[in-house]
Structure 1
Amino acid sequence: MARIKHSKKEIEAALVYAESLGWTIEVGGSHAWGRMYCPFNDNECRCGEFCIASIWSTPKSPANHAKQIKRVVNNCISRPASEAEE
């Protein structure tokens, strides 16, 4: 079953990008639109701190929140170098 789309187009584009690299998006939860989970979930990857990220439903700046989501995905040290964004 496909997940529901985020209402902010910038954030939805960032979520599609994350999903294309294997990240899992779960909609719902407390105080957030959803969460995204790293496909590697490596404890040595920055102490697991960034293996889970919250996705806000109505951030003050959707563009900045989308950049933050992409930054989390791109900075995953467990991600193979062949997938690195240029």
Structure 2
Amino acid sequence: MRRAKHPKKEVEQALRYAEQHGWRVEPGGSHAWGRMYCPRNVPECRCGEFCIASIWSTPRNAGNHARQLRRIVDNCVFREAVGAECAEESNDGI
């Protein structure tokens, strides 16, 4: 089943970006539109501080909120580790 779209197009694009990088987006919540979860919620991942991010339904500035969500995905320790693993795998095949 597909998730509901976010009403702000900039935020929706950021959510799609997160999903492409393995993050899980779950709509629903009390004060937020939803949350996005890191693919690996491990203690080494900055003590779990950035493993869950709230998605606001009506951010004051949708562009800034979208950039913040992308920055969370880009700075994920797990994402950097995946990039290193991919590089190692490509070198093993030589």
TMscore range, shorter length? over 0.9
Which consecutive residues of structure 2, in runs of 5 or more, have no partner in the other structure?
Answer: 87-94
RMSD, aligned α-carbons: 1.2
**Superimposed CA distance per residue, residues 49-80 of structure 1 (whole angstroms, 9 cap, x where no aligned partner):** 00000000000000000000000000001111
Q: Give the share of equivalent positions with the same residue, in percent.
A: 65
Which amino acid in the other structure matches residue 81 of structure 1? Answer: G
Tell me which stretches of 4 or more aligned residues in structure 1 moved more than 2 Å: none
- Unpaired runs of at least 5, structure 1: none
- Between structure 1 and structure 2, the one with the greater Rg is 2
Question: Please, what TM-score do these two structures have when normalized by structure 2?
Answer: 0.85
> Which residue of structure 1 aligns with residue 59 of structure 2?
59
Write 1 or 2 for the structure with the bigger share of helix: 2
Q: Say how many residue pairs are matched.
A: 83
Deviations 1:7-66 (A, max 9, x none): 000000000000001100110111100000000112111110000000000000000000
What's the TM-score, normalizing by structure 1?
0.92
**Cα distance between partner residues in 1 of 2:6 and 2:55:** 9
- For the residue of structure 2 that corresponds to 1:78, the secondary structure is helix
